Structure 1
Amino acid sequence: MCEEQNVLQVNDLNVSVRTFSGNLSLIQKINFSLRKGQILGLVGESGSGKTVTSAALLQLLGTEAVIKGSIKLNGRELNGLNPKEMQRIRGKEIGYIMQNPMNALTPVYTIGNQFIESIRTHSKLTRKQAFELAVHSLESVNLAESIKLMDKYPHQLSGGMLQRVMIAISMCLKPAIVIADEPTTALDVVNQQQVLRQLEQLRAECGTAILLITHDLSVIAEMADDVMVMQQGRIVEQASVFDLFDRPQHGYTKKLLHSRLDLSGYEGGL
């Protein structure tokens, strides 16, 4: 697929940090693209560089970081964009669902206050219109009593509910891309499935492309169209989800697949 047809095009992305002894490389020569409605999985063990990659795409790394290469969103270069322009893009054009949603929400403000502020930052809606949109969006992710929920604080919600709030914020702004960084970590099985269904709904209803970052291969098998495998800051294999699971090529990918717990012997026994 040509570059013009891709929502996101990343070419030769390198990230390093300045240290007293010189630059320390974190990720090297990352190349990939995302097309409209695609779910691209990024897998690898902890410390492999997955979250650094997402932070680089969002231009959220500190001043010590050196980012080289090209990050194009609908043909517009993001690397080196001034902070105010990038702030306008984050949330509206690129949504971000964090591993721990409590870190994304301010504990001293209500859900409604933060939701409405997010909407009004990226739109010309009145406060009343933003409130109505927020309530509708919360209902769309199956959160009961959405109006009452608007008056609650983050600590009053479960992890699964907070994740769905973050997805609701992304859905109402209809971004071109959502980066979901370990969205099901620390959730029980029921909440995991709810969050994954909402991500699929976001893709189906809005045509949003999703970069799904996880170490959970069962999530990748269920959700992703294509997969990238990251090891020590490099993409060592990239393939369709079927090819990756059926015909892995790289030794590291094979080790990841073999490391999955084989629960087939427990069917019907739990």
Structure 2
Amino acid sequence: MGTDKSKVLQVRDLHVQIKAKNGITTLVQDINFELKPGEILGLIGESGCGKTVTSMSILQLLNRKETTIEGSIMLKGQELNGLAEKEMRKIRGKDIAFIMQNPMNAFTPVFTIGHQFVETIRSHTSLNKKQATELAIESMKQVNLPDPGKLLKYYPFQLSGGMLQRVMIAIAASLHPAVIIADEPTTALDVNNQKNVLRHLDKIRSEYGSAILLISHDLGVVSEMADEVAVMQHGKIVEKAGVFQLFDSPKHEYTKKLLNARPTLYLEEPMTNLI
């Protein structure tokens, strides 16, 4: 198949431990996966199985005093594990972007949306303030935000959680990063805006070749978006397969259990029983 150069992200033998008062606890172990440009890998599993720890390890955002990360995390041929924080700051936002689960945590409350968006763009490009503002406005239009020029003057608390989520996605997508890590990107959104955001993520991957690591509890979102799916249980990947193969013919017992837990509507039953 393809050479290593065709892989934009390669995670090899990732092993994360945390030092606690009662000893050392393993959070994730033996994690292996890779992403090619324009590919979407869905990462599914119950809460606490290690999905977010895996993403935070890739971004090098775990507390280095309390955690030990072993293994290799290669982004476009560059090793990220153990990279100095100063160097990682240059990479985060530009080459690898993060859409986090709680949009409120992504913004500093004392600065306007515009200040934070524009400064993010300017810190990674040679654009001046006017050009960066124009790019911010265009990126916000892409995620269906109304009157972006006005929204840039608002503070985070003045926007709903759903609007903040879309601003965060606009920021993540604005510089066309090689990899986007999306941790529950549609959690705070209604159905209509979910569709818009997913459509935009799909557009980013098809137009700019960004690979996406999609972490989600929503199996419907994963089945619709992902090319491949990895299933995590107790800090390990227990099954990985193409999206159709995994949903149609799951091999691991835990995967079967997870898929069977999906809510189902039995519309054939007469509604009179419920009245």
TM-score with structure 1 setting the length? 0.96
Q: Report the equivalent of 1:59.
A: 60
Whole-angstrom CA distance in 1 between matches of 2:183 and 2:3: 27
Matches within 5 A, 1:21-100: 21-62=22-63, 63-100=65-102
Aligned residue identity for 2:8:
V
Q: 1:88 corresponds to which letter in structure 2?
A: K
Deviation at 1:264, TM superposition (A): 4.5
Distance apart, 1:250 and its partner CA: 0.2
The alignment covers a number of residue pairs equal to: 269
Q: Distance in 1 between matches of 2:143 and 2:253?
A: 39
Structure 1 position 266, deviation (Å) = 6.8
Task: Select between 223-232 and 178-187 the one with higher mean Cα deviation.
Answer: 178-187
Q: How far apart, CA to CA, are the structure 1 residues paired with 2:8 and 2:163?
A: 29
Aligned to 1:162: 164
Of 251-260 and 15-24, more deviation after overlay is shown by: 15-24
1:196-229 CA distance string (max 9 Å, x none) = 1121122122110000001110111111110000
Work out the CA distance in 2 between the residues paired with 1:144 and 1:266. Answer: 40
**5 Å matches for 1:127-142?**
127-142=129-144
CA distance in 2, matches of 1:267, 1:141: 39
Matches within 5 A, 1:118-133: 118-133=120-135
CA contact (8 A) 1:111 1:152 kept: yes
What displacement does 1:162 show? 1.3
How far apart, in 2, do the equivalents of 1:166 and 1:76 lie? 26
Quickly say closer, same or farther: Cα 1:107–1:248, change in 2 above 3 A: same
Q: Distance in 2 between matches of 1:268 and 1:168?
A: 44
Contact preservation (8 Å) 1:14, 1:69? yes
Q: Is the 8 A contact 2:97 2:177 kept in 1?
A: yes
Note the C-alpha offset of 1:268.
11
RMSD over aligned Cα atoms: 1.5
Report what 2:264 is aligned to. Answer: 262
Which of 171, 179, 196 matches 1:194? 196
Does the alignment pair 1:145 with 2:147?
Answer: yes
Does the 8 A contact of 1:160 with 1:195 survive in 2? no
Q: Secondary structure at the match of 1:80?
A: coil
Q: Which stretch has the larger CA shift, 222-231 or 138-147?
A: 138-147
**Residue range with higher mean Cα deviation, 226-235 or 202-211:** 202-211
Gaps of 5+ in 2: none
Change (3 A) 1:166 1:186: closer
CA distance in 2, matches of 1:173, 1:53: 23
Aligned-partner SS, 1:265: coil
Q: 1:20, CA displacement in angstroms?
A: 3.0
Structure 1, unaligned runs of 5 or more? none
Residue 212 of structure 2 corresponds to 210
For 1:44, the aligned partner's letter is: G
1:21, distance to aligned residue in structure 2 (A): 3.4
Q: Tell me, what secondary structure is at the counterpart of 2:181? A: strand
Query: Which residue identity lines up with residue 25 of structure 2 in the other structure?
Result: L
- The separation in 2 between residues aligned to 1:161 and 1:196, in whole angstroms, is 15
Identity %: 61
Q: What whole-Å deviation, never above 9, does each CA across 1:151-204 have from its counterpart, x for those lacking one?
A: 111122222221211111122111000000011114222222222112112212
Q: Distance in 1 between matches of 2:168 and 2:207?
A: 16
Is the contact between residue 9 and residue 36 of structure 2 (CA under 8 Å) also seen in structure 1?
Answer: yes
Structure 1 residue 149, shift from structure 2 partner:
1.0
* 1:171 counterpart SS class: helix
